[in-house]
Structure 1
C-alpha cells in the first residue's frame, strides 16, 4: 500500500505534463499539417519567414508562389508555409 502511494505523485506529475504541454502541441502540429496538406492553387499564404505570396503550383513537397507586384516566382518547401491568409479558410 505504501509503494502505491509513492507512485501516485510521479504518475500524477507525468499525466499533468502530458495534458498541459505535450497534448496541446500535438494538436497544434496536427492542425498545421492538415493546413499544409490542404493547400491549393490560388491560396494566399505566408511563409515562416514572413513572405506573402499566392500559390501557383504544387508538386509533392515543393510549392511555387508568386510574390510582389512583378510576380516573382519562388519555389519553397511545403513545410515553410506558416499560414493561409484567405478569408474563406479562416
Structure 2
C-alpha cells in the first residue's frame, strides 16, 4: 500500500513539474511577442500621427523625446506624457 502511494506521489510530482515548465515556456513566448509589438509601435511613432494613450485619451503626436511625448488633445491643449503610455497608433 505504501509503495503504491509513493509511486502515485512521484507521478503527481512529475506532472506538476512538467506543468510548471510548460507554463514558463508559454509565458516567455508571450513576453517576447509583447516586447516585439511595443518595439514596432515605438519605432513607428513620429510627429503628426494620431495616437491613443493607455487611459483612452486620443490625440495627435506633436513632439517626441527620448522618454516623453507631447500630445495635442484639443486645440491649444497639449499634454506631456511618458512615451510608454502610448498604447496604439490610430488608423483613420
Shorter-chain TM range is 0.7 to 0.9
| 5+ residue gaps, structure 1 | none
Q: Say whether residues 1:86 and 2:91 are aligned partners.
A: yes
How far does residue 10 in structure 1 lie from its aligned partner after superposition?
A: 4.5
1:2-23 Cα distance to aligned partner (Å, 9 max, x none)? xxx8685354213320233342
Write out the 4+ residue segments of structure 1 that deviate beyond 4 Å after TM superposition: 5-8
Residue equivalent to 1:35: 41
Residue equivalent to 2:53: 47
| 5+ residue gaps, structure 2 | 1-9
Give the length in aligned residue pairs.
Answer: 83
8 A Cα contact 1:43 1:86, kept in partner: no
* TM-score, structure 1 as length reference: 0.72
Residue equivalent to 2:6: none
* TM-score, structure 2 as length reference: 0.71
Q: Say whether residues 1:63 and 2:69 are aligned partners.
A: yes
Structure of greater Rg: 2
- Once residues 48 and 78 of structure 1 are traced to their aligned partners in structure 2, the CA distance between those partners, rounded to angstroms, is 11
RMSD: 2.4
